[in-house]
A and B are shown apart, each in its own frame.
Chain A
Amino acid sequence: MRVLVVDDEKPARDRLRQLLDDEDQFDVVGEAGNGHDAVSLAAELEPDIVLLDIRMPGLDGIETAHHLNALEKVPAVVFTTAYDEYAVDAFEARAIGYVLKPVRRSRLTAALEQAAKLAGTTLREVATDARLDAPRQHVCASMQGELKLIPVEDIACFRADQKYVSVEHANGQDLIDDSLKSLAEEFASRFVRIHRGALVAVQRIERIEKTADGKNRVVLREGSQVDDKELIISRRHVAEVRRRLKES
Chain B
Amino acid sequence: MTVAPESTSQDAQAYLPDFCAAGTLFIVLLVAELVAIALTLAAHDAGGQFLVELSKTSFFVLWLALLGTAIMCQLRNRLESTGATRAFVISFVVLEVVCLVLAEVSWQLTRIFGESSIIDDTHGNFLLRTFAVSSIVIALAMRYLYVSSEWRRSIVLEAQARISALQALIRPHFLFNSMNTIASLTRSDPAQAEEAVEDLSDLLRVTLSSPRDMSSLKQELETAAIYQRIEKLRLGERLNVRWDVGELPMRARVPNLTIQPLLENAIYHGIELLPDGGEVLVTGKRDGKMLEITMSNPVARGRSRDKDGNKMAMANIQQRFDLAYNGRATVEVEDADDRYSVALRFPEDRGDA
Question: B322 CB to closest chain A CB, in angstroms?
Answer: 30
Judge whether A9 is part of the interface by a CB distance below 8 angstroms. Answer: yes
Given A15-B184, A18-B184, check contact A82 B236 (CB 8 Å): no
Q: Which of B163-201 contact A (CB under 8 A)?
A: 172-173, 175-177, 179-185, 187-188
Query: In the complex the two chains form, is A83's CB within 8 Å of B172's CB?
Result: yes
In the assembled complex, B275 has its CB within 8 A of some CB on chain A: yes
Q: How many residues of B contact A (CB 8 A)?
A: 25
Residue of B nearest to A56 (CB): B275
For A58, give the chain B residue with the smallest CB separation: B275
B242 on interface, CB distance cutoff 8 Å: no
Is there an interface contact between A11 and B233, defined as CB atoms closer than 8 Å? Answer: yes
Contacting pair A34 B275 (CB below 8 A): yes
A12, B173: Cα distance in complex, Å: 13
**Interface pairs (19), CB distance under 8 Å:** A9-B234, A9-B235, A10-B236, A11-B184, A11-B185, A12-B184, A14-B188, A18-B184, A18-B187, A58-B275, A82-B173, A82-B177, A82-B180, A83-B172, A101-B179, A102-B179, A102-B180, A102-B183, A137-B302
Instruction: Digitize A15-51: 1 where CB-to-B-CB distance is under 8 Å, 0 elsewhere.
Output: 1001000000000000000100000000000000000
A100 on interface, CB distance cutoff 8 Å: yes
User: How many Å lie between the Cα of A74 and that of B185 in the bound state?
Assistant: 32
Residues of chain B within 8 A (CB-CB) of A15 are 180-181, 183-184
Find B234's partner among A11, A102, A103 (CB 8 Å cutoff): A11
Asked if B274 lies at the interface with its beta carbon under 8 angstroms from chain A, I say: yes
Contact A55/B272 with A12-B184, A83-B173 known, Cβ cut-off 8 Å = yes
Q: Enumerate chain B interface residues (CB-CB to A < 8 A).
A: 172-173, 175-177, 179-185, 187-188, 233-236, 272-275, 300, 302-303
Interface of A with B (CB < 8 Å)? Answer: 8-12, 14-15, 18, 34, 55, 57-58, 82-83, 100-103, 133, 137
In the complex, the chain B residue whose C-beta lies closest to that of A101 is B180
Residues on B with beta carbons closer than 8 Å to the beta carbon of A8: 275
Chain A residue at smallest Cβ distance from B276:
A57
Closest to A153 in B: B302
With A11-B185, A57-B300: A103-B236 Cβ-Cβ less than 8 Å = no
Residues of B within 8 A of A103 (CB): 180, 183
Residue of A nearest to B306 (CB): A131
Do residues B173 and A11 form an inter-chain contact, with CB atoms below 8 A?
A: no
Please, which residues of chain B bring their CB within 8 A of the CB of A100? 176
Shortest A167–chain B CB gap in Å is 19
Q: In the assembly, what is the distance between CA of A14 and CA of B300, in Å? A: 26
A13 (CB) vs chain B CBs: closest residue: B184
Taking A12-B180, A12-B234, A82-B172 as given, write out 12 further A-B residue pairs in contact, using a Cβ cutoff of 8 Å, ordered by the A residue number: A8-B275, A9-B234, A11-B184, A11-B185, A11-B233, A14-B184, A15-B183, A83-B172, A101-B179, A102-B179, A103-B180, A137-B302
Chain B residues with Cβ under 8 A from A10's Cβ?
236
Whole-angstrom CA separation of A219 from B176 in the bound complex: 52
A203 to chain B, nearest CB (A): 13
B-side contacts of A11, CB under 8 Å: 180-181, 184-185, 188, 233-234
How many whole Å from A95's CB to the nearest CB in chain B? 23
Are A9 and B177 in contact, CB atoms less than 8 angstroms apart?
Answer: yes
What are the residues of chain A within 8 A of B234 when measuring CB–CB? 9, 11-12
Report the minimum CB–CB distance from B18 to chain A (whole Å). 37
> Are B176 and A57 neighbours in the complex by a CB distance under 8 Å?
no
**B180 to A57, Cβ gap below 8 A?**
no
- Chain B residue at smallest Cβ distance from A7: B180
Question: How far is B179's CA from A103's CA once the two chains are assembled, in angstroms?
Answer: 9
- Closest B residue to A35 by beta carbon equals B275
B274 to chain A: which residues have CB within 8 Å? 57
Distance to closest chain A CB from B66 (angstroms)? 53
* B267 → chain A closest CB, angstroms: 12
Question: Closest approach, in angstroms, between the C-beta of B240 and any C-beta of chain A?
Answer: 15
Q: Please determine whether B303 and A101 come into contact, CB atoms closer than 8 angstroms.
A: no
Contact B303 A102 (CB under 8 A): no
Most chain A CB within 10 A, of B176, B177, B180, B303, is at B180
Q: How far is the CB of B183 from chain A (nearest CB, A)?
A: 5
> Which A residues are CB-close (under 8 A) to B175?
83
